[in-house]
A and B are shown apart, each in its own frame.
Chain A
């Protein structure tokens, strides 16, 4: 089976811009979770989607949003980028939330 794929792998944006990141889960997986990883804060949960429904959301401002499509692919969007949004954004898929999560390689976002 192909693993979790994330595109793009690297992204450079400037403050105020918006960005959309994409995640394709492992075939058959319906749960997709997103995380922000920074050196100081570790892995922070952003949100989890299952069958196109957001089931939980972390403590991030409304500038962070996401969605999931009928084929389980997911996107996350960050609007009005700030310098502090620079991070590695990781996507993980699983059959359901208590199943093993498989992570993608991440998208490295740099905000200048």
Chain B
């Protein structure tokens, strides 16, 4: 089955700095890669996703890059703000099943 590895598990950055979270996946058939943000007491919310026909996608301060050859994809958050503090999950859907990374707890220090 699909295996998704995510790191780091925790990340502390100063407000205004950038944060990068990386994931690797095992199933070369995967072609859709979403990223979720989970705040305390809430379910995960999609923040950005990328499909395998593109290498990078940006949405304001958030970007995702994909390297299909190396089977890894990364989340980049620039100009971090305290409200970015949350747990972030990468995911790799396979046949009728989505495998999530273990999660990265991001803390943005004011």
Interface set of A (CB-CB < 8 Å, partner B) = 4, 33, 35, 42-43, 45, 48, 50, 55-56, 58, 90, 92, 97-98, 100-106
Q: Provide a sorted-by-A list of 7 A–B residue pairs whose CB atoms are within 8 angstroms.
A: A42-B102, A42-B103, A55-B96, A90-B43, A97-B95, A100-B34, A103-B43
Asked whether any CB of chain A lies closer than 8 Å to the CB of B61, the reply is: no
Q: Which of B34, B49, B97, B100 has the most CB of A within 10 A?
A: B97
- B contact residues, range: 20 to 34
Interface of A is mostly: strand
The answer to whether B100 and A43 have CB atoms under 8 Å apart is yes
Asked whether any CB of chain A lies closer than 8 Å to the CB of B99, the reply is: yes
Task: Determine the chain A residues whose CB is within 8 A of the CB of B89 once the complex forms.
Answer: 42-43
Contacting A58 at CB < 8 Å: which of B43, B49, B97, B101? B97
Q: How far is the CA of A4 from the CA of B43 in the complex (A)?
A: 10
Contacts A103-B43, A104-B43, A106-B43; is A56 near B95 (CB within 8 Å)? Answer: yes
The answer to whether B99 and A45 have CB atoms under 8 Å apart is yes
Q: How far is the CA of A90 from the CA of B98 in the complex (A)?
A: 13
Q: How far is the CA of A45 from the CA of B97 in the complex (A)?
A: 7
Q: How far is the CA of A90 from the CA of B44 in the complex (A)?
A: 9
Contacts A100-B34, A100-B49; is A48 near B96 (CB within 8 Å)? Answer: yes
Shortest beta-carbon distance from B2 to chain A in Å = 10
Contacting A101 at CB < 8 Å: which of B34, B95, B96, B101? B34
Contacts A90-B43, A106-B43; is A101 near B100 (CB within 8 Å)? Answer: no
